[in-house]
Amino acid sequence: MQKSILNYVLLVACCIAATLFILNLKRGAHMPKKLETYKKKRDFKETPEPKPQVKSSKGKDIFVIQQHHASHMHFDFRLEIDGVLKSWAIPKGPSTDPKVKRLAAQTEDHPLDYAKFEGIIPEGYGAGTVIVWDTGSYDNLNEKNGKPISMQQAFDKGHIKIFLHGKKLKGEYALTRFKDRNWLLIKMKDAYADARRNPVKTETQSVLSTKTIKKLDKKFKKMKEERE
């Protein structure tokens, strides 16, 4: 008699555990919560973009700037912070002139693997062409009361100071939040500041493949024509 009650209790406990497990799976608790927005916006059966995986680079933290010709041409500036790429869309791209402020609208966090992504996003969210316009490591220059603080702390404060070690962009840059998700990207005065340079216009090749957006646009156009 007592044995059958014990069996019954065990069965009920198992049912509850199984239900909780399934509910948890449905909620997506097993997925990286950090990249939920990135994941929701994309259909990974359609897009060749990297899967939403949270991970850090092996060496120094990295940055990437991608030229992205979607419905509008823009540059996506991304900084590795705690296993994801914090991201901003910069309509006019970065400047090397300290007198120029560039609007940088924060977008959803991207996975680290995105830093190597270039090519064609066929349809859906962000459809268009992408090249890796610049990439490299960066140094965290942020401090508070003379003591170093983390990139995440600087991000939360809305003021980020970094030193870029890119192929096209080098030296100190500042990102400052002024309203909601709107920030400004400014070149700081240092030996790399140069008002005469305009790399966004004159250095158009991918630093990974030497491809240009123009070249990819032609390929994309051909692809669309062939499908019709």
65 vs 164 by CB, closer to Mn ion: 65
32 vs 128 by CB, closer to Mn ion: 128
How many residues bind Mn ion, per CB under 5 A?
Answer: 2
Q: How far is the CB of 89 from Mn ion (least distance, A)?
A: 5
Instruction: Find the part of the chain contacting Mn ion (CB under 5 A) among 15-23, 24-32, 42-50, 76-84.
Output: 76-84
Nearest to 169, CA basis, from 86, 78, 64: 64
DSSP state of 97: -
Q: How far is the CB of 209 from Mn ion (least distance, A)?
A: 18
Q: How far is the CB of 120 from Mn ion (least distance, A)?
A: 13
Q: How far is the CB of 160 from Mn ion (least distance, A)?
A: 19
DSSP 142-188: -EETTEE--HHHHHHHTEEEEEEE-SS-EEEEEEEEEETTEEEEEEP
User: Is the distance from CB of 124 to CB of 42 less than 8 angstroms?
Assistant: yes
68 vs 187 by CB, closer to Mn ion: 68
Residue among 76, 80, 109, 172 that touches Mn ion (CB under 5 A): 76
Query: Residue 183: is it exposed, middle or buried by C-beta count within 10 angstroms (0-12/13-18/19+)?
Result: buried
Q: How far is the CB of 198 from Mn ion (least distance, A)?
A: 21
35 vs 154 by CB, closer to Mn ion: 35
Mark residues 45-74: x for contact with Mn ion by CB under 5 A, - for none. Answer: -----------------------x------
In angstroms, the CA 174 to CA 180 distance is 17
Nearest to 115, CA basis, from 140, 137, 95, 82: 137
110 binds Mn ion (CB under 5 A): no
62 vs 154 by CB, closer to Mn ion: 62
109 binds Mn ion (CB under 5 A): no
DSSP 175-228: EEEEETTEEEEEEPSSTT--TT--HHHH--S-TTT---HHHHHHHHHHHHHHH-
Q: How far is the CB of 128 from Mn ion (least distance, A)?
A: 8
- Cβ-closest position to Mn ion: 68
The region that residue 147 occupies, defined by phi over 0 for left and psi between -120 and 50 for alpha, beta otherwise, is: beta
Binding site for Mn ion (CB under 5 A): 68, 76
